[in-house]
């Protein structure tokens, strides 16, 4: 029942339900099947077939509109996030710590290992937010 309600509820990001985007029409909930509803009482099979074909013709357009809405939503979220971010410009010679990424962590240190490594010196600024690093012995750090 929970999965059914999840798949038939319109998403705020796209304005459509996953069921509608998959099958091309809105699903009837179980309560409407048992108790009856206006939609069910006024059902005419011949008209339903015509509307179904029309909905299937418009399905690609509905999917494209939902993708546009999703892209606009993602841009709004990115703009909000980027507005709150404060970048710290580093200069050549500054000491910094580098985050240990999951693919670099040693197998025995996955859970309790350090999250940061270093300190490293900034050797050069490649472009905004990207730096060439070296350790304290002036040895270049690859893939930094």
Ranges of each domain in the chain: 2-84, 95-134
Query: Per residue in 111-135, pLDDT tens?
Result: 777 888 889 999 999 988 889 999 9
Query: Per residue in 43-65, pLDDT tens?
Result: 677 887 888 888 778 888 888 99
Residue that is written with structure tokens 């909000």 in the block: 80
Q: What is the pTM of this model?
A: 0.48
What order do you get walking across the sheet with 95-99 strand by strand?
A: 95-99, 116-127, 130-134
What percentage of the chain has pLDDT greater than the value 90?
27
Distance (Å, whole) CA 32 – CA 30: 5
Residue 99 pairs with which residues in a beta bridge?
Answer: 116
């Amino acid at each position: 029942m929970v999965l059914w309600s999840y798949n038939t509820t319109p998403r705020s990001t796209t304005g459509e339900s996953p069921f509608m985007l998959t099958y091309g029409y809105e699903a009837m909930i179980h309560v409407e099947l048992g108790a009856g509803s206006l939609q069910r009482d006024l059902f005419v099979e011949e008209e339903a077939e015509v509307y179904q074909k029309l909905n299937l013709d418009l399905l690609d357009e509905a999917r494209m509109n939902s993708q546009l809405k999703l892209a606009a939503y993602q841009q709004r979220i990115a703009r909000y996030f980027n507005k709150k971010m404060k970048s710290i410009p580093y200069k050549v010679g500054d000491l910094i710590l580098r985050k240990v990424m999951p693919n670099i962590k040693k197998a025995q240190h996955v859970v309790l290992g350090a999250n940061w490594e270093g300190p490293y010196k900034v050797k050069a600024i490649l472009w905004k937010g990207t730096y060439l690093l070296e350790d304290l012995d002036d040895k270049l750090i690859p893939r930094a």
